[in-house]
Structure 1
């Protein structure tokens, strides 16, 4: 009984967390990125800095909570198909973390380290690269949501 309730709570955390991440990343992809693409560089840098303050550390915590829940459910889910789907969700959430840490975060640090009113000579526009990395992690987040939601709605018996 306790394991069943724990599994249900972890399933909610996995679906809710992956849903929040997928929703935020989708909104950024379809609304924020098109808007910043047309901004002058200085304005873009200022906005990028302000947006980043809102995402950190909340988004990494949400991704981590969902990933830890998926990891536990790989062992606790009542059926093999559910375990496999939570494993797929975990893999996708790890993909989100890896892409973020090694793709987007280095670009964020570079953008945060520049004065928007005094750009270095030859400073390259980071938006195309950031957008490309963001698309990859958005795909991973949507995959995690699909996997966790499917796993959570499977019947509890084989």
Structure 2
């Protein structure tokens, strides 16, 4: 029963992260890219407030459920949960090592003091975001496969 609960936590956690990141990639990012620099900075700040602390907690919840499942799930499924753990760890790593530092840089910018040749962080932020989106979607697929294998 505990293992089944952990499988649900892993799937729901990776599913929420994959869904939120995919929505950002296909809708929010194109809208942000279309904004003038000063409005982009303001909007980026506003959007970021809603993601903390819920997204890190969601990623960590799914990731740690995967880690425990590596030890508790039936042997063939353990390998899939181990892969999902690594994918979620990668998702978290990209967030903390790439996107968060860019976020801090954006938050330190003064929108009124931007020059026409400002260093636009959007392309780099988007590239890192797309990587973590792929990792999160892969984690969801692998978690679902692990749960299906564990149930068979």
Smaller-chain TM-score range? over 0.9
Matching residue of 2:147: 152
Selected match of 1:16 from 12, 17, 32: 12
**How many residues of Structure 1 are paired with residues of Structure 2 in the alignment?**
152
Matching residue of 2:88: 93
The Cα shift of 1:122 comes to: 4.4
For residues 26 and 104 of structure 1, what CA distance do their matches in structure 2 show? 15
The Cα shift of 1:124 comes to: 0.2
Q: Does 1:68 align with 2:44?
A: no
**SS across alignment from 1:61:** helix
Contact 2:73 2:150 in 1 (8 A): no
The Cα shift of 1:117 comes to: 2.0
Aligned positions of 1:9-158 closer than 5 A: 9-78=5-74, 80-119=75-114, 122-156=117-151
Query: TM-score when scaled to structure 1?
Result: 0.92
Contact 2:11 2:143 in 1 (8 A): yes
For residues 89 and 117 of structure 2, what CA distance do their matches in structure 1 show? 35
Where is the helix percentage greater, Structure 1 or Structure 2? 2
RMSD across aligned positions (CA): 1.3
Query: TM-score when scaled to structure 2?
Result: 0.96
For residues 42 and 16 of structure 2, what CA distance do their matches in structure 1 show? 25
CA shift digits 1:32-59 (9 cap, x unpaired): 1111111000111001001110011110
Contact 2:76 2:150 in 1 (8 A): no
